[in-house]
A = this chain, B = another copy of it.
Amino acid sequence: MYGAVIHAPGDVRFEQRPDPQIEQPTDAVIRMLATCVCGSDLWSYRGANPIRRPTPMGHEYLGVVEEVGADVRAVRPGDVVIGSFFASDGTCEICRSGYPSRCVQAIGMGSLGAQAERLRVPLADGTLVATPGTPDADLIPSLLAASDVLGTGWFGAEAAAVRPGKTVVVVGDGAVGLLGVLAARVQGAERIIAMSRHADRQRLARTFGATDIVEERGDEGVARVKDLTDGLGAHSTIEAVGTQESMLQAIRSTRAGGHVGFVGVSHGVELSGQLLFYSEVHLFGGPAPVRRFLPDLIGRIWRREIDPGLVFDLTLPLSEVAEGYRAMDERRAIKVLLQP
């Protein structure tokens, strides 16, 4: 089969890879219906993560089960399925406590390369969730979004303890930040302040439920948020970038006793204990436990209550995956959907 392989920063190729096989009795192999490029893939593309050898890419997937191992019970050939970017057993104490992305057996799906025609999914029973039936074509983008960016934005809102009637700031206007806006709205936030400088992303933020847009950053951005919140800062802030600047923006935009949920994969961030102590905000984040949210999120999409697929503003054939990376790197696209 063919799939995406990164050879060096800026060098993603669509090339032949070994056909995935059932290797463990708990594996499934799926045929890809849709996959996509993640903001976190750009860390490698831009050279922020080392690339030691040609490496398959991609960790978001919506597919049809082709084959299952002997021990798989929860899905069967023909099912349309979604999973998260971590395979998880669903049975360990950490999974049962709600953190499947930190499963004691967790396997990063990125290492298996979902930007491909087929994909082996380990721990299929714990990892995959079947859709209620064959999805209409127009639901495909939203269902694919559930695999990572929707679930991650959803976790950002949960980690930021979004509550009905409260004010939420969202730092970052990529797909995760925008879906953080959507999640905050669905979770009941009254006021949602999206920090964004890009007109197209501002529009999408408003579509998803943002009530205010702040274009300023740094001290000015903090001051604008304070202006909008009686001088106190937000109750909840979703951080969806992962840089020093965005983390400080998030912490400083939040009131004492408030919550920061950070879901941007952290790069080069160093936080002083004094800042954390005296800002007195709850800080929680990490790889989103997307698998926990999937049944709920798939249901909301299936009932057409939410339309997270709007974050895909460019669709390409999977064979043009390299152009997908370029478009996102150059910010010509928010998020690129790839069709095999």
Size range of the interface on A?
Answer: 35 or more
CB distance from A291 to the nearest CB of B (A): 13
- Structural contact, B257 and A266, CB atoms closer than 8 A: no
Of B266, B277, B286, which contacts A262 at CB under 8 A?
B277
- Structural contact, B247 and A273, CB atoms closer than 8 A: yes
Contacts of A271 in B (CB 8 A): 270-273, 276
- Residues on A facing B (Cβ under 8 Å): 93-94, 97-99, 101-102, 104, 230-232, 242, 244, 247, 255-257, 262, 265-274, 276-287, 289
- Structural contact, B278 and A273, CB atoms closer than 8 A: no
Expressed in whole angstroms, the Cα–Cα distance for A273 and B248 within the complex equals: 11
Of B104, B244, B279, B284, which contacts A286 at CB under 8 A?
B279
Expressed in whole angstroms, the Cα–Cα distance for A98 and B256 within the complex equals: 10
- Structural contact, B93 and A256, CB atoms closer than 8 A: no
Contacts of A247 in B (CB 8 A): 273
- Structural contact, B284 and A99, CB atoms closer than 8 A: no
25 A-B Cβ contacts within 8 A?
Answer: A93-B230, A93-B232, A94-B256, A94-B257, A97-B255, A99-B280, A102-B280, A104-B232, A244-B273, A247-B273, A262-B273, A265-B277, A266-B272, A266-B274, A269-B272, A270-B271, A270-B272, A271-B271, A276-B283, A276-B285, A279-B286, A280-B284, A281-B284, A282-B282, A282-B284
- Minimum CB distance partner of A283 in chain B: B283
- Minimum CB distance partner of A94 in chain B: B256
Expressed in whole angstroms, the Cα–Cα distance for A270 and B257 within the complex equals: 21
| A232/B273 contact (C-beta < 8 A), A256-B99, A257-B99, A285-B280 known | no
Expressed in whole angstroms, the Cα–Cα distance for A323 and B267 within the complex equals: 48
